[in-house]
A and B are shown apart, each in its own frame.
Chain A
């Protein structure tokens, strides 16, 4: 019976366990890079297969009858995300970035929820202790969340650059917000965008895109006080903005990882309290409050599962909006 109380060590629940260990490919900084498949990687596969099984079969045909069951739930969540979360942030670019944002949201949601279902314990009970650790929280591994953060970072800046190239090529660059006329301020050369309204060819747009992206990356607070003040203030703010651009996906990664891991560790630590009670009556006496508390904590974990998926998608949408249409 103590097989099930592997939760007496709260770490064993949340650490990855290898299912297949492959060859050591190379050594990086003295640490061997070994191919292996952990139970959390298997859960990524399970979540992806679940998404591939559910979504095309439910949503491929345009169907105007009222949806029921799973279709209704998924549609309600995704419509809420689109109308109340993504559209106020992204405004006219919503439909371009919806597939990515919806995929990220649903993937993180499915991974978190699959981690809340105690698959390892179920399989251990059924097979009598032979199959161990078949299941876990995929987003409870920092590798997964770091990968999601890296993907989000690359997506954000690639799309910022690509929208800038598109605006430069079609001549719509510099026409986001109306500027006050130059006669009012007296400074004509630094008030309009340097290349506003030009139709560039693709190579020219690619060459101009990267410096212009950095030029618009940080705000220009002293734009109308001359070129030197403009560039110096821009440089100072650029350093801060670059640090921020690295820290924001890092915080996304740590937030998701910490929330997923801490829920399971608290649950496992509380169950461990039952194990260390000396007598049977003591264990029952400790067990009943612990089980009630664990029930409430598990409900909180369900809320956290939904909330963390929402927060990740919402913050990614905000960063995309900041990169694609920076406020002037």
Chain B
């Protein structure tokens, strides 16, 4: 798998390929964290609704707020990775 990564990284010659690959891996890890976080939020929210169906509206609102907050952090990481990759290119 690392040889595949090296092959992809060397499509752009020189060290720039490795830098762009680093930025791409960073983006992927950040999105991984966001996926886990929002998945957990969604799961707990659905569980809460299953326990108390009459609180579904409030739980849904709070779920969306928490998901947007977690996603904000992921977007910050993606934007910084993109800027770093753009600095190299």
Residues of A within 8 A of B (CB): 142, 250-252, 254-255, 257-259, 262, 307-308, 311, 314
Decide if the interface of chain B is mainly helix, strand, loop or mixed.
Answer: helix
A262-B78 contact given A255-B68, A307-B64, A311-B68, CB 8 Å threshold: yes
B79 at the interface (CB under 8 A from A): yes
Query: Whole-angstrom distance between the alpha carbons of A112 and B76 in the complex?
Result: 19
Tell me if A259 and B71 are in contact (CB < 8 A).
Answer: yes
B72 at the interface (CB under 8 A from A): yes
Give the residue of A142, A250, A308 whose beta carbon is less than 8 angstroms from that of B68: A308
Which of the listed residues B71, B73, B74 has the most CB atoms from chain A within 10 Å of its own CB?
Answer: B71
CB proximity of B75 to chain A, nearest CB, Å: 2
Give the residue of B68, B76, B79 whose beta carbon is less than 8 angstroms from that of A307: B68
Decide if the interface of chain A is mainly helix, strand, loop or mixed.
Answer: helix
Tell me if A254 and B75 are in contact (CB < 8 A).
Answer: yes
CB proximity of B73 to chain A, nearest CB, Å: 7
Tell me if A258 and B65 are in contact (CB < 8 A).
Answer: no
CB proximity of A316 to chain B, nearest CB, Å: 13
- Nearest chain B residue, comparing its CB with the CB of A254: B76
Beyond known contacts A255-B69, A258-B75, A307-B64: 13 more, CB 8 A cutoff: A251-B73, A252-B72, A254-B75, A254-B76, A255-B75, A257-B75, A258-B72, A258-B76, A259-B71, A259-B75, A308-B68, A311-B69, A314-B65
Query: Whole-angstrom distance between the alpha carbons of A259 and B78 in the complex?
Result: 11
Query: Whole-angstrom distance between the alpha carbons of A258 and B74 in the complex?
Result: 9
